[in-house]
């Protein structure tokens, strides 16, 4: 099955690597030519590095590289059996993109969004055939993270989520089914994890390094909340918090923080800009 991926940023590139390694021809599309070029070369580098480390054979790595077809035109998606969207977290933009996808793909092609926080049902509602729509939510970095949340929309036909789960499992991932609610499972649990850590900082109870240290060294978390927010990026993380808060009808448990909003506004987005809660320069 050929898989189309829209968006070649952090997630789209990672998902492309996963499905190309699993044997699918991949059409990787981005509206930004530079982003597409960067993603294509970083996927190739990452696959070859895995071969050097002995995690893939050199032949398997080169075969996966050869399955990757970057494109800037949606018309190349005509032969796709599945299209996964991983573009900007904006409902209107995602809906618009899927209208364009449906004009190209066959009626049998499955459609999926990698959204972290938007309603799968609302994105599906923009489609002519919403019954073939589902959420496939990967975690960052997609090649390393095992968990994938599979989220049926209200309109999704019975049985599709199970078929998608089986496909995702065939990529070596561990899919779980989640209902279409804001943040699904992990991002919902994560909101209070970040929010409470920021409140502890704001209330002067402990500093950033101490909170991260306590949760990693003592709490057994792989990353502390501040290191993790810097890794995800404050643009992405702030928007997800705002979206989950709004979607839960302004439940104060999910209230975003000004501390993170200011980092976002300043462009101190974390690792990707060299500065966030920590300084990476």
- The continuous run of DSSP H or E covering 6 comes out as strand 2-6
Q: Is 187 a catalytic residue?
A: yes
Minimum separation from the CB atom of position 158 to ligand NAD (A): 26
Minimum separation from the CB atom of position 7 to ligand NAD (A): 3
CA distance 72 to 114: 20
Q: Is 86 in the site for ligand NAD (CB under 6 A)?
A: yes
> With contact defined as beta carbons under 8 Å apart, do 103 and 75 qualify?
no
Q: Is 163 a catalytic residue?
A: no
Number of H-type helices and E-type strands within the chain: 11, 8
Q: Is 135 in the site for ligand NAD (CB under 6 A)?
A: no
Stretch that binds ligand NAD, among 8-16, 103-111, 191-199, 203-211 (CB under 6 A): 8-16
Annotated active-site residue in 137, 234, 242, 243: 137
Count CA atoms closer than 13 A to 263's CA, side-chain side. Answer: 27
Q: Is 31 in the site for ligand NAD (CB under 6 A)?
A: yes
Annotated active-site residue in 85, 149, 234, 243: 149
CA distance 231 to 110: 31
Minimum separation from the CB atom of position 205 to ligand NAD (A): 27
**Segments of 128-187 assigned E as strands:** 133-138, 147-152, 174-177
Which residues belong to the active site? 116, 137, 149, 187
Q: List residues binding ligand NAD (CB under 6 A).
A: 6-12, 29-32, 35, 86-89, 93, 97, 114-116, 138-140, 232, 236
């Amino acid at each position: 099955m050929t898989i189309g991926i829209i968006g070649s940023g952090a997630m789209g590139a990672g998902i492309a690597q996963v499905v190309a390694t699993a044997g699918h021809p991949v059409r990787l599309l981005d509206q930004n030519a530079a982003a597409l070029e960067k993603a294509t070369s970083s996927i190739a580098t990452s696959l070859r590095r895995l071969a050097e480390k002995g995690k893939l054979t050199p032949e398997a790595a080169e075969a996966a590289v050869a399955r990757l077809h970057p494109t800037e035109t949606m018309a190349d998606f005509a032969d796709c059996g599945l299209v996964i969207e991983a573009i900007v977290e904006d409902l209107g933009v995602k809906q618009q993109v899927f209208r364009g996808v449906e004009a190209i793909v066959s009626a049998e092609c499955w459609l999926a969004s990698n959204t972290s926080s938007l309603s799968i049902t609302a994105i599906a509602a923009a489609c002519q055939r919403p019954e073939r729509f589902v959420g496939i939510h990967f975690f960052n970095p997609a090649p390393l993270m095992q968990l994938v949340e599979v989220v049926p929309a209200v309109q999704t036909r019975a049985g599709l989520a199970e078929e998608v789960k089986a496909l995702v499992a065939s990529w070596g991932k561990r899919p779980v089914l989640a209902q279409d609610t804001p943040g699904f499972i992990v991002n919902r649990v994560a909101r209070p994890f970040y929010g409470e850590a920021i409140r502890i900082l704001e209330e002067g109870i402990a500093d950033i390094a101490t909170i991260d240290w306590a949760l990693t060294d003592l709490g057994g978390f792989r990353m502390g909340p501040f290191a993790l927010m810097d890794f995800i990026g404050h643009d992405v993380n702030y928007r997800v918090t705002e979206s989950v808060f709004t979607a839960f009808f302004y439940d104060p448990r999910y209230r975003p923080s000004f501390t993170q909003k200011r980092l976002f506004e300043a462009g101190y987005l974390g690792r990707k800009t060299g500065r966030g809660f920590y300084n990476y320069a």
